[in-house]
Amino acid sequence: MSELEVYARQGMGNASGFGAAPALCIVDFVVGFADPAHFGGGNIAPAIAQTVHLLAHARARGWPVAHTRVVYADDGSDAGVFTMKAPSLRKLTETSPLSQIVPELAPRAGELVVRKRGASAFFETTLSGFLRLHRVDTLVVAGCTTSGCVRATVVDAMQHDLRTIVAVDCVGDRAIGPHEANLFDMGQKYADLLTLAEILAKQ
């Protein structure tokens, strides 16, 4: 029995689809994650290039848009256990060039910029309130890393009862193994997996 057959036999891998009011969340596509010398590598650069088209589509359709950045205080006073596991994250301060959103995805007026200290875009941030204000029922997720902050955001989106779509060619990771494994698992339990082309065709 194949892996897919095991999940299907247990009733997993169904689609939640799009609702009536989508939004786009772009997770941590900042300069530091675009640079293999710092936090990047793998397929992150191609995912950023694809997200340029997804963001243009979301703007054209009038979707609410949120961008996230990891931001710590200059003195590290708000850094927690996450930075004990990955101390280099403390470099991502408000003014650090590494923590700035990549220019090709620069936010526009009216788009939310979420500053976060953990993995999920929802944890101790204003994202859920922003989505409720706009009566969002579907969250399309792009960003990095697939196995880290994207996954955490996707799980929390589902737990907020949002239909959740992972734009599979608009998410990336510094290593392809974790990227592929986490896409598979998210697709079975937490989100629908759609390519950019499939999203454009549906919406």
User: Taking a C-beta distance cutoff of 8 angstroms, is the pair 89, 123 a contact?
Assistant: no
User: Taking a C-beta distance cutoff of 8 angstroms, is the pair 141, 165 a contact?
Assistant: yes
Q: Which of 42, 17, 6, 13 is nearest to 185 (CA)?
A: 13
Q: Which of 114, 115, 199, 191 is nearest to 160 (CA)?
A: 191
Per-residue pLDDT in tens (0 to 9) along the chain, 203 residues: 788 888 888 988 899 999 999 999 999 999 999 999 999 999 999 999 999 999 999 999 999 999 999 999 999 999 999 999 999 999 999 999 999 999 999 999 999 999 999 999 999 999 999 999 999 999 999 999 999 999 999 999 999 999 999 999 999 999 999 999 999 999 999 999 999 999 999 87
| Domain extent at residue 17 | 3-70+101-198
84 assigned to some structural domain: no
Distance CA 31, CA 129 (A): 27
75 assigned to some structural domain: no
Distance CA 34, CA 153 (A): 19
CA 112 to chain centroid, in Å, comes to: 14
203 assigned to some structural domain: no
59 assigned to some structural domain: yes
> Active-site residue among 25, 144, 149, 170?
149
Please state the φ and ψ torsions of residue 9, each to the nearest 5 degrees: -65, -30
Verdict on whether the full-model pTM lies above 0.85? yes
- 149 noted as active-site residue: yes
What's the total number of domains in the chain?
1
The CATH number for 150's domain is 3.40.50.850
188 assigned to some structural domain: yes
Please state the φ and ψ torsions of residue 167, each to the nearest 5 degrees: -80, 95
87 assigned to some structural domain: no
Q: Which tokens go with 76?
A: 């590290």
